[in-house]
Amino acid sequence: MRLIGSHQPCLLLADGADPQAAADAGFDGAVLPAAGFNAAACVLLGLLAVADVESPDAIPASADLLLLRGGEITNRPLIEACAVSGVPLLLGTAGSTLREVTRAVGWFQLAFRKALPAAPSRRRVGLDGGGSLVLLHGPDGPLRAMARMAEQTLTPVGYELEGEPATGALAVAVGACVLLAHGDGAALVAAVREAEKLLGEPRKQPTPQEVEAATRSRRSIVAARDLQAGSQLAAEDLAFLPPGGGLGPHETDKVIGRSLTRDVGQGQRIQVDDLDGELPEPPPWFGPRPPREKPSN
């Protein structure tokens, strides 16, 4: 099952393109009219079938996603009908205020929770976290408004795009998990996938190349002059020179006051094995997470 969420690749949906053209451009799905809905072509091409819904009487249970245009933001009966269908909904917010969006989300969530719908038998897409609603900002609206909507409604947000592919890439960068796109599909798909590649994973994880470059630019503790075995180290005995990889400048408190176990020439690194005794453990409050208890000293 394809998942929609902040940590998932953005779902790219073609609006106004036939399924074959959408597949050729690299889209994930295509929008089809709900009246006379026929997802066969999408299934054969490996695309998600999105139903453009205009009436509570025309909600195809075989659709992978439902789409309500921005003009339906005040259509409570239609929003509630989509909520109880069990099919994830993309709700357009064009021309609406934040208050109207929040109200529509409330209608959807109340109906969804009361009905507790079972998932359709051919469900091929879901929301990360178990939700069933994505708000669609745009078309080509201010990108910062997406974060405000997500914060206010606790609902994932997508973007409806009619402009340049670069705008789609920026929308993904600020949190869009779905793009409903018109226009040059191939260029948009390429721009979005490149943006996702640059964004990477949502964690601070340096690449091997970054680690290698950082090691070259960082400094290690070295002897400021020729030092003999048995010398007790003082601050004036130490200097800091690249590359890194040895004891760093932040570890001088582990070195000062310790005695050398061998002769160390000027400019040579002072290693852990060159010092008598054992290095003290770092205080717990210097770790990446705050301590559970306040330090006593």
Whether 173 and 195 have beta carbons less than 8 Å apart is answered as yes
Q: Answer whether 63's CB lies under 8 Å from 39's CB.
A: yes
Asked if residue 146 has pLDDT above 90, the reply is yes
- In this prediction, residues 54-66 reach a mean pLDDT of 91
What is the pLDDT confidence band of residue 121, given thresholds at 50, 70 and 90?
low
The SS3 call for residue 47 is coil
For range 2-15, the mean pLDDT: 87
Task: Map tokens 């529509």 to a residue.
Answer: 104
What domains appear along the chain, each with residue ranges and CATH number? 2-199 (3.20.20.70), 208-279 (3.90.1210.10)
Q: What is the pLDDT of residues 191-247, one digit of tens each?
A: 998 998 888 777 777 888 988 999 999 999 999 999 999 999 999 999 999 999 899
Q: What single DSSP character describes residue 158?
A: E
- Crossing angle of helices 165-173 and 185-199, rounded to 10°: 30
Assessment of whether the complete model's pTM goes beyond 0.95: no
Does residue 156 contact residue 177 with C-beta atoms inside 8 Å? yes
> 206 is written with which tokens?
């340096």
**Minimal CA–CA distance to 174: which of 10, 12, 25?**
10
Helix H or strand E encompassing 238: strand 238-241
Contact 227, 262 (CB under 8 A): no
Q: What is the largest CA-CA distance in the chain?
A: 90
Looking at the predicted structure, is the pLDDT value of residue 180 above 70?
Answer: yes
Bigger pLDDT: 154 vs 278: 154
Label residue 291 by pLDDT band (50, 70, 90). low
Mean pLDDT computed over 5-19:
88
Helices 144-153 and 98-115: crossing angle in degrees, nearest 10, is 40
Output the DSSP codes for 199-221.
H--SS----HHHHHHHHHHS-EE
Of 40, 11, 16, nearest to 27 by C-alpha is 11
Q: Give the percent of the chain with pLDDT over 70.
A: 91
| pLDDT higher than 60, residue 82 | yes
